[in-house]
Amino acid sequence: MIIGLGLAVVTYFIFYWAIIKFDIKTPGREESSNMKNTLIKEKRYGEIAEILIRALGGKQNIRNVDNCITRLRVDIGEVNQIDKELMLESGCTAFFIPAANHVHIVYGPKVEFVRNAVDEAMKK
């Protein structure tokens, strides 16, 4: 048992050194190429809403917007009008299309603020 504890400590420090020395991309250390982190962290929900509406094909393509705890659920008219690259720039973690005219966009616990901004932008 003592040998196992010693090996655990040695292994920890060897892997810690290797990860730092060789810049190994472990989960949570990878770099993000889009501006999603900035938009969410700076609470720029209005900008997120504008980008999201453009990514979904415009106001005319959006039928209904709803949310759950972490996802924005959007009913759309035409799925082929979705701009996937622009969708990722809106700050979402991920998105998927579970049905022909339905999109789930994952924003995390701040999704309620994003939905409110989308509702306001849709009224304009």
pLDDT, tens digit, 9 for 90 and up, residues 9-46: 999 999 999 999 998 888 767 665 544 567 777 888 99
Which tokens belong to 47? Answer: 């900008």
> What pLDDT does residue 58 have?
94
Judge if 67 and 7 occupy the same domain: no
Helix axes 111-123, 45-55, angle to 10 degrees: 70
SS3 content of the chain, % helix, strand, coil (to 5): 50, 20, 30
Q: Which among 7, 10, 20, 68 is annotated as catalytic? A: 68
The burial of 58, by beta-carbon neighbours within 10 Å (0-12 exposed, 13-18 middle, 19 or more buried), is given as exposed
CB 70 within 8 A of CB 123: no
Judge if 19 and 66 occupy the same domain: no
How far, in Å, CA of 80 to CA of 75, rounded?
13
Q: Percent of the chain at pLDDT above 70?
A: 93
> What pLDDT does residue 49 have?
94
Judge if 69 and 102 occupy the same domain: yes
pLDDT in tens, 53-86: 999 999 999 999 999 999 999 999 998 999 998 9
* Residue range of the domain that includes 109: 32-123
Domain count, the chain: 2
Please say if 68 is a catalytic residue.
yes
pTM for this one?
A: 0.69
Judge if 58 and 97 occupy the same domain: yes
Judge if 16 and 62 occupy the same domain: no
